[in-house]
Structure 1
């Protein structure tokens, strides 16, 4: 926009533009909420899913792994293949894929169809996350980018608090297939909201696969991806098995564990916004604090978590810290490659989802081989690795 054009914009025009920009940010937040809820939905539905599809719970659990791995691989490919297409059109197309994937999961007569459906969910999830992550900067004024980015990523934190429990509750009331139908309906509503509320968003530049590989050679981007790998792997190595850990350490029953996880989730939402503000000023300092707090909390839980009150405090602190991981690491990545935000975001989403799968795998191996509480020590050690990487690697300049 030229200076003359800027000077001729009336306050009413500027106000309408701001309202539409923030409306688009809210739609993107609902988008991230929907894709993460869709990805994680099987967590609370494994037993009825396995019974209905006639597979063991361990095999049914692969539906989560499949979606995560597909998202990890597909997000960089989708950014490259979509070229210069309008990002509003691409987001709507990916939400349509998510609708089909969730409906396919609801209909699945056997495990093979379920796998295909979860592949579609992984494609939709990886693409929406990669694109949405870098759009806040294009929708709001520069002074509001940090808050808008936090709002987009709040969808991820809120999904862990409301999305998965709501899906589990729907499954208990109407059957596990109804939970996937509900997810499909939500994805359709978000598709319509994105189409209506987002402005045209032409791609800033095409991102060929070779360009993505060159981005990984950027020292700041590479350090950010290493930090993501350590902290997310550590978190999911521990969090995947948090229920049996709490049962073993504190003797918590099902009701108490539900309360502790709710406390964790609510703290995570708060952590998202607190860390978003901090990361806008200094991603390195924010992630150093997050990694150190996570390491200390995970190390302490098996030692002093015998009391439900102490366990609750530690779960709240853990949630507060991890709730800021997504927005802080994404801020690091975007600040490291401002000229190639979508390409950098696609690498970020790939590493993030790969780390989720790796963390669950490593945690399972350690739990089976050493004991369930050992997963907390593993998570703490990997969080320390994140601190070391953030402290010694190249970081973007402070804001």
Structure 2
């Protein structure tokens, strides 16, 4: 997840009591976002090592991405309603503890079933964290600093993606996948300690009702946005989940080169984040459609370009920019589609995002095991194309979110 001032619109109602240094609280939430994102994307870089180490196919290993996505999708809207007026500090600490336990189980897992149990705990924590944490940074500081605080939280998320994808793959190549989960465990313990020390009590003035979650589905732009998002992100994760086996087996990159390629993908994606925000500030529909187009084109070309390493890297760069811009553009579209219930829209957005991850990684795994890595790329780009066509034909142009 990446955002900026959009998430401030979905913050929990009310502001936190003043603290001696509220920015420490903001950075503790950002550190937790790093921990969750690193743990979420860690299996992508480690997939082939875990597959070999626990004697499962790469398609089956992809369940490590699918299972948390399903649970996070269920937990995000449910928790938003269920926690009512409970102190958000206590909720966040509980979710942080789940993150610690999930990484501990993954690191020590004697078999694949135990590893999946750890990922189940992770999925619960992930959905809960983003449901209440996405807009929390802006509530911890004075109103005039809300945008900056929210940007810091999502910068933490971007750094977590960087650590989980490229750095995780490098650690897995050098010292093994268990050590990579050990690093994620250390990060999650550090983030839990930071929140315990620096987060103030976070009481609420107004609770979200179940019907607020469905506000987004009552508008034409909300419905088409959710459908296009589901299709395009499913295509994204049907392909990106299996990018390390593709780079290894089809393109012939070694472990260090793969980790470097993933590092570049994530870094250029961070630039795409800013480009997407700037573009969507001028025209949300055109920017969002462009991110979809420049996702599916390089993915569709990768199978035929796979033997040319320079061309593969160039296509990955285009893909990285497009995906970096996509979440910001999507969030701006959703908030504009349901301006009266932005917090409910955020919960549904997160649920749909995680369903897309789960569906994409599952379908991609089936394709990889049945038809091979290249056909998974073709299938992912085809699904993305359907989403782009539907969005281009059915979405109504709107003014950008200010």
| TM-score of the two chains, using structure 2 as the length reference | 0.80
In structure 2, C-alpha distance between the alignment counterparts of 1:21 and 1:281, rounded to whole Å? 33
Q: Which has the higher contact order (CA 8 A, sep 6+)?
A: 2
In structure 1, C-alpha distance between the alignment counterparts of 2:199 and 2:137, rounded to whole Å? 11
- What are the Cα deviations for residues 282-305 of structure 1, in whole angstroms up to 9, with x where unaligned? 432321221122232223333455
* 1:321 to partner: Cα distance: 0.9
Query: SS where residue 83 of structure 1 aligns?
Result: coil
Residues matched between the structures, number = 383
- For residues 282 and 92 of structure 1, do their structure 2 counterparts lie closer, same or farther at Cα, with a shift above 3 Å needed? farther
Identify the residue that residue 13 of structure 1 maps to in structure 2.
none
Identify the residue that residue 163 of structure 2 maps to in structure 1.
162
Bigger Rg over Cα: 1
* 1:169 to partner: Cα distance: 4.7
Within-5 A mapping of 1:203-352: 203=204, 205-246=206-247, 250-304=251-305, 306-352=307-353
Query: SS where residue 373 of structure 1 aligns?
Result: helix
- For residues 108 and 299 of structure 1, do their structure 2 counterparts lie closer, same or farther at Cα, with a shift above 3 Å needed? closer
* 1:378 to partner: Cα distance: 2.7
- For residues 280 and 22 of structure 1, do their structure 2 counterparts lie closer, same or farther at Cα, with a shift above 3 Å needed? farther
| 2:382 equivalent to 1:393 | no
In structure 2, C-alpha distance between the alignment counterparts of 1:180 and 1:278, rounded to whole Å? 37
Within-5 A mapping of 1:1-399: 23-46=24-47, 49=50, 59-139=60-140, 149-170=150-171, 176-198=177-199, 200-203=201-204, 205-246=206-247, 250-304=251-305, 306-368=307-369, 370-391=371-392, 392-394=394-396, 397-398=399-400, 399=402
Asked whether the 8 Å contact 1:153–1:326 carries over to 2, the reply is no
In structure 2, C-alpha distance between the alignment counterparts of 1:114 and 1:370, rounded to whole Å? 26
- What are the Cα deviations for residues 4-50 of structure 1, in whole angstroms up to 9, with x where unaligned? xxxxxxxxxxxxx8995655444333222211222233344456656
Asked whether the 8 Å contact 1:87–1:202 carries over to 2, the reply is yes
- For residues 59 and 385 of structure 1, do their structure 2 counterparts lie closer, same or farther at Cα, with a shift above 3 Å needed? closer
Asked whether the 8 Å contact 1:150–1:327 carries over to 2, the reply is no
Q: What residue ranges of structure 1 are gaps of 5+ in the alignment? A: 1-16
* 1:228 to partner: Cα distance: 1.9
In structure 2, C-alpha distance between the alignment counterparts of 1:241 and 1:50, rounded to whole Å? 12
* 1:162 to partner: Cα distance: 2.0
- For residues 313 and 142 of structure 1, do their structure 2 counterparts lie closer, same or farther at Cα, with a shift above 3 Å needed? farther
Asked whether the 8 Å contact 1:84–1:202 carries over to 2, the reply is yes
| TM-score of the two chains, using structure 1 as the length reference | 0.81
* 1:223 to partner: Cα distance: 2.9
- For residues 166 and 244 of structure 1, do their structure 2 counterparts lie closer, same or farther at Cα, with a shift above 3 Å needed? closer
Asked whether the 8 Å contact 2:227–2:387 carries over to 1, the reply is yes
Asked whether the 8 Å contact 2:131–2:347 carries over to 1, the reply is yes
In structure 1, C-alpha distance between the alignment counterparts of 2:54 and 2:367, rounded to whole Å? 29
Query: SS where residue 204 of structure 2 aligns?
Result: coil
